A and B are shown apart, each in its own frame.
Chain A
Amino acid sequence: NAGVMQNPRHLVRRRGQEARLRCSPMKGHSHVYWYRQLPEEGLKFMVYLQKENIIDESGMPKERFSAEFPKEGPSILRIQQVVRGDSAAYFCASSPNSEGEQYFGPGTRLTVT
């Protein structure tokens, strides 16, 4: 059973470009979460999605950031007009239900130059 997959693993963007980060949950998991991690810090919750629904986006910045989890295909975290402060590791997690253990992917390391 493959774990949570994320791609790309590393992404470099210039200021003003768009970044698209993809996450495929574990097989059988319909709950997806995105977290951001700055160096030497813990992960910070961004958004919680189920198929075709955003359940909780209380951790998402109000502008430039959006997330989706379509009926088919991976979940996408989209950052428009990236700025240097967006440089971080972005982790996706999935779970089989609304309670309990979340399994994390390897992360996408975004660098904005």
Chain B
Amino acid sequence: GESVGLHLPTLSVQEGDNSIINCAYSNSASDYFIWYKQESGKGPQFIIDIRSNMDKRQGQRVTVLLNKTVKHLSLQIAATQPGDSAVYFCAEMVNNAGNMLTFGGGTRLMVKP
């Protein structure tokens, strides 16, 4: 289930189940979105990206869905594994308006064996 803790919201799933991590982005002008995975003590690691002219993109075991109408992004992880345990951040960018990434607050994914 999903819970909102004192800091990062946490999603706890059983190994082998599918995970869905959600993100509400803030800028309607954003046209590029990235999901990053961050393990403890490490830098963010690129997972998958999507541009605003698409509403779905699939990678290996991961799918990103973009709903521009409600400014919502989701990351689906199929057959979640213990190695997927980490904090996941969505990030948005407005191309040609500076290249800064604006990060969301993050969700901690915990995979139970």
Q: Which residue numbers of A lie inside 8 Å of B, CB to CB?
A: 4, 31, 33, 35, 39-45, 48, 55-56, 58-59, 91, 93, 95, 98-107
Contacts and interface: CB of A to CB of B under 8 A. Distances in A.
Contact of B46 (A35, A103, A106): A103
A41 B68 CA distance: 24
Q: Is the interface of B mostly helix, strand, loop or mixed?
A: loop
Contacts of A59: 100
A101 B36 CA distance: 11
Contact of B104 (A42, A100, A102): A42
Contacts of A100: 32, 49
5 contacts: A31-B99, A33-B101, A45-B100, A95-B99, A107-B43
Nearest to B90: A42
Contact of B89 (A43, A55, A99, A105): A43
Contacts of B36: 104
Given A43-B103, A107-B42, 10 more contacts: A4-B43, A33-B99, A35-B103, A40-B106, A42-B91, A99-B99, A100-B32, A101-B34, A104-B36, A104-B44
B100 A58 contact: yes
